[in-house]
Amino acid sequence: MSKGRIFSGMQPSGKFHLGNYLGALENWVRLQHDYECIFSIVDLHALTSKYEDTRELPENIHNMALDWLSAGLDPEKNIVFVQSQVKEHAELHLLLSMMTPLSWLERVPTYKDKLQQLGSQGKDINTYGFLGYPVLMTADIILYKADTVPVGEDQIPHLELAREIVRRFNHLYSPVFPEPQAKLSKAPLLPGIDGRKMSKSYGNEIPYAASPDELRARVRLMVTDPQRIKKTDAGNPDVCTVHKFHKIFNLNQIDEISQSCRQAGIGCVDCKKRLAEQMVINLADIHVRRSEYEANPSRVKEILAYGNERARKMAAATMEEVRQAMNL
C-alpha cells in the first residue's frame, strides 16, 4: 500500500556527483517502493540561473536520465519526466504568480543569498524568472497533488512558501490542493576529496559516473590525517577523509583498518587502495546499468517520452480543476 504521493526534482546542471547520489538519489530509490512517485528533470529551473547559454541542456538532461536509471529508479513504477515537456508547469506557474505577493518571494532566504553569491561570480540573475523560482517549484509539486517532497535542508523555505501559496489558492477559489510536506534525507553530508562538503563549486567531487579507474584516481588524491607524515607515524582516523568514506563504503573492514592506522600499521596508500576497491564493488551494479543505457540512447529517449505522456495526463486533469475554480 502506498504511503502517499511524492514529487521531487533535480536540475540538470551536468555535474552529478557521489554526494548528490548518497544525499538524494539513493533515498529516492528507496522511497519508490513505498510511495507513488513522480520525479522530474527540472530543466526550466536550470534556466532561472543559466539562461544565456543553453547549448549543453539536451546533453545534461540525457545524462541526468542516465544517472537516475542507473541508480535503479524504475521508470514503470515511477513517473520520470522532463519538466519543460509538460506545458502545464508553465501555465500553473503563471496563474500562481498572479496571487503570490512579491514580499513573500523577496523574503525567501535563499533568494538574496543566491543573488549575491552568483552576482559575485559575474552572473546577472536579477530577473523575473529567478525571483519566481519557488513559485515554479510550487507548481511542480501541486500539479500532481503530491503530499510528500523529499529534499535537502536548503529547500525547506521553498516548501514553506509552497504551503502558503496553496492555502491562498484554496482560500481564494476552492480547495483543490493538499499542503505538501518536506521529507528530509537522513544521509549525512558527504565530504569531497579535500575534506570540505562535496560540491561542484569546490572541484572536490567524485563524479557519480566515474569509471573504476577514475574512482581509484580520485581516491588517491584524498586528504588524510595531516599529522601523519611517514608511514611509521600513528594515524588518527577521526580526522581522515578516507576514513569517512570507509564508514560509508566499507563498514565490514572499518574496525580493523582504523585500529591498524592508529598503530602505524596500514599506510595511507594501502588504505586508499582498499577503499577504492570497495567503492568499485559497491558501485558495480550502477556501472553495469549505466553502460547498458549508454549503449542504447534511443531507449532512454523512449523512457522519457513515456514519462512525459503520463505526467501530462495527470497535469491536464489538475489544470481542468484549476481553470474551473478560477472561472477561466
Residues lying near ligand AMP in the complex (CB under 6 A) are found at 10, 19-20, 22-24, 151-152, 187, 189-190, 197-199
Q: Which of 15, 114, 244, 273 is catalytic?
A: 114
Site for ligand TRP in 279-308 (CB under 6 A): none
Three-state SS for 150-191 is EECHHHHHHHHHHHHHHHHHHHHCCCCCCCCEEEECCCCCCE
CA distance linking residue 211 with residue 54, whole number of Å: 27
Nearer to ligand TRP, 8 or 278 (CB): 8
Nearer to ligand TRP, 46 or 268 (CB): 46
Site for ligand TRP in 154-183 (CB under 6 A): 155
Which member of 5, 11, 63, 300 binds ligand TRP (CB under 6 A)?
11
The answer to whether residue 200 is catalytic is yes
Q: 45: exposed, middle or buried (C-beta count within 10 Å: 0-12, 13-18, 19+)?
A: buried
The answer to whether residue 197 is catalytic is yes
Nearer to ligand AMP, 97 or 204 (CB): 204
Task: Say if CB 325 and CB 174 are below 8 A apart.
Answer: yes
Helix and strand totals (H; E) in the chain: 16, 5
Q: Which of 15, 123, 145, 197 is catalytic?
A: 197
Contact partner at residue 262 from ligand TRP, ligand AMP, none, CB < 5 to 8 Å by partner kind: none
* Residue 72 Cβ vs ligand AMP, minimum distance, rounded to whole Å: 17
86 touching ligand TRP, by CB under 6 A: no
The answer to whether residue 272 is catalytic is no
Nearer to ligand AMP, 85 or 204 (CB): 204
Residue with cell 523555505: 157
CA 319, distance to chain mean position in Å, is 27
Q: Which three cell numbers stand for residue 150?
A: 523529499
CA 159, distance to chain mean position in Å, is 16
Contact partner at residue 80 from ligand AMP, ligand TRP, none, CB < 5 to 8 Å by partner kind: none
CA distance linking residue 103 with residue 85, whole number of Å: 30
* Residue 266 Cβ vs ligand AMP, minimum distance, rounded to whole Å: 26
| 221 three-state secondary structure | coil
Q: Which residues bind ligand TRP (CB under 6 A)?
A: 7-11, 42, 45, 137, 140-141, 149, 151, 155
Which residues are the active-site residues? 114, 197, 200
